[in-house]
Amino acid sequence: MILLGTSGFSYKDWVGVFYPENTKNAEMLEFYAERFPCVELNFTYYRMPATRTIEGLVRKVPSDFQFCIKANKAMTHEIDREAGSNFSKKVFSDFMEALKPMTTQGFLGCILAQFPWGFKKTASNIEYVLRLKELLADVPVVIEFRNSQWISEETFDLLRSHDLAFCAVDEPRLRGLMPPIAETTSDLGYVRFHGRNAKKWWKHDNPQERYDYLYSERELEEWIPRIQQIADKTLKTYVFFNNCHSGQAAQNAQMLRAMLGLEL
């Protein structure tokens, strides 16, 4: 099963492009959920989610809708090893407690743990990644690496041994970044399209500039056999577009959906 959507849904610059003119923020998710079966929530990376916020999201979607939640930056980018395991466990337990409206009602697809480029393949970092299955018990966990050092059979075997899913990515073909590899390490497949804006990836005034990119049909065609390969080896495969500037993610998601022959 392939479920396709976008990374986030609440963007003002999508109004008039994806959302009808004069669409209010509170109306966006219901409109989105009529057109896509899942969404990747990124606001949880920037701030810890609140139970009330999660309850509000769940009320606006159909019963079979799925949310994939990005782990908070304290869990992936601001790892305080000096504070010890108690600190780590509290961050993770607080995070999961806030998501209970989704986990108890079957709306949670998975947790995405996206590590930064500076998170390189070291013994301590490997240990931390593998520990996520314990810290995020009873929910599917997806690991996204940004540094190509992690690409090896050893990494894939370690992920498999702990039932951690590997996130395949499309991003600029720059040295040190992840190549477009269609790999699976659990019964969950995951693909993220970040765009190929090589010029702005490292040099930008705003980090969001790196995701300003619209894929062509020819570029998306490259991924059709890869996505099908991942889907053939998994029970469920999520595909998300993170090139969110000016509604480009929604446009590309609709393009790829048609190319894959997926129903609305």
Cα–Cα distances (Å) from 13 to 34, 38, 78, 186, 261, in that order, read: 19, 20, 30, 36, 28
What share of residues in the chain are helix, strand, coil (percent, to 5)? 45, 15, 40
How crowded is residue 10: how many other Cβ atoms within 10 Å of its Cβ? 15
CATH assignment of the domain containing 117:
3.20.20.410
Whole-number pLDDT of residue 123: 94
Whole-number pLDDT of residue 113: 97
Q: Pairing relation of β-strands 165-170 and 188-193?
A: parallel
How many separate domains does the chain show?
1
Tokens of 167: 């996130």
Whole-number pLDDT of residue 81: 57
Question: Measured between alpha carbons, how far is 37 from 54 in angstroms, rounded to an integer?
Answer: 17
Mean pLDDT by 10 residues, the chain (264 residues): 97 95 96 97 95 96 97 89 61 95 97 96 94 93 97 97 97 90 97 89 76 94 97 98 94 97 83
Closest by CA position to 183, among listed 215, 145, 218: 145
**Structural domain harbouring 204:** 2-260
